[in-house]
Amino acid sequence: MSIRNAAIIGAGMAGLTTALALSKRGIRCHVIEQAPYLAEVGAGLQISPNASRILARLGVLPALEREWTEPERIALVSGRSLGRLAHVPAGRFARERWRAPYGVAHRSTLQRVLLDAVMAEPNCALHLGKRIDHHDRAALAALAGEEPDVIVGADGVWSSTRDGISAAPEPDFSRNVAWRFTIAMADAPAFLQPDAVTAYLGPSCHLVCYPLREIGGFNIVAIAAGLNPGEIWEATASIEQKRLLLQQFRGWNPQILSLLKSMDSGRFWPLYQVSDGAWQNGRDTVLVGDAAHAMMPFAAQGAAMAIEDGWDLATRLSTAASVPQALADYERVRKARAARVRSRGTFNRFAYHVRGPLRVGRDLVLAFRPPQALAADLDWLYGYDATA
């Protein structure tokens, strides 16, 4: 079977990757985005080997590599003593072990290279500033100039495409927020490591830092409990929110507390996740990315899962006997994969935020695990090859 065309609702990472993967297989794609222009929120993101190998197959990795940074290691550090607990080697090691690189980049960099590739693809058309209800197939057909064979919901955690799928996932505020900000290399405290992705661990919260070559500085993310600002991507912090943040980091190393106090941004991102549910309607509508499986960022796999989704869906739509069969196979395989990644994130959350005697036990266990053993624990994640 070969479908003729697809309507993709949403032009984020999931939507652009899906469009590019489908178009490479000769399928016409209409990407419909309600925003009048594309502006990626947030700052940095980690692109692990399971995602970068797909980006290589799509032909966009070289453009990304010209701007991203490949850290030498992924380090776990005590938020109190700043002593290193353990690390997983990256850099050349990642390329050799997992046959693809591990990089960090600004979110806008990845979006731009995907967008440039989509715009250069004859089979793709981008429609900005267009909000169309999934149920209004006539409007979709009028905009695209043809009736879509399949509708892909890549419209994020508050997806409207889910309305067309019975028993679809439902969004829920996780009661955690992410404070994201950047700091120039010249202004960065000495404890920040310019050659690593570093997670500073402490009771009930943690801090992730890594360099971004595009800005000549560091991307910093503090994840802690927070108040629900409503269904928005980015919120302005109240005095109460800021006080809550600093309270949770009380008792951490004074240098980290000073870094948080100096944060000039009063912005944070509420962290939403979605429940389990159906990802497709059995006929012609399917979900990808956060619309299907938004999860907490404790495994740093949000973008990677969206990229894997796009590739897998395109492969099945171009090879299955029918659209319903392709959607059913996609849902079965990707649900299992996402569930395992979610479980890893849940484990990381416990390990990162543990307190009291359990924290001492965690530190001892990590101290006796060599880097190669920790890397082997990630083979199922980073070594996963959706292109095989």
Residues carrying an active site annotation? 210
Q: How far does the chain reach from its first CA to its final CA, in angstroms?
A: 20
Element (H, E) at 206: strand 205-212
What string of DSSP letters covers 52-103?
HHHHHHTT-HHHHHTT-B--SEEEEEETTT--EEEEEE-HHHHHHHHSS--E
- With tokens 């989704």, the residue in question is 309
Q: Which two tokens stand for residue 63?
A: 């453009």
Cα–Cα distance measured from residue 387 to residue 61, given in angstroms and rounded to the nearest whole number: 15
Q: Taken in order 58, 62, 67, 70, is the CA torsion positive or negative?
A: positive
Across the chain, which distance is largest between two alpha carbons, in Å? 64
Q: Which two tokens stand for residue 364?
A: 């001892």
- The CB density around residue 257, as the number of other CB atoms within 10 Å, is 15
Residues 6+ positions from 45 with CB-CB distance below 8 Å: 104, 105, 106, 107, 110, 300, 302, 303
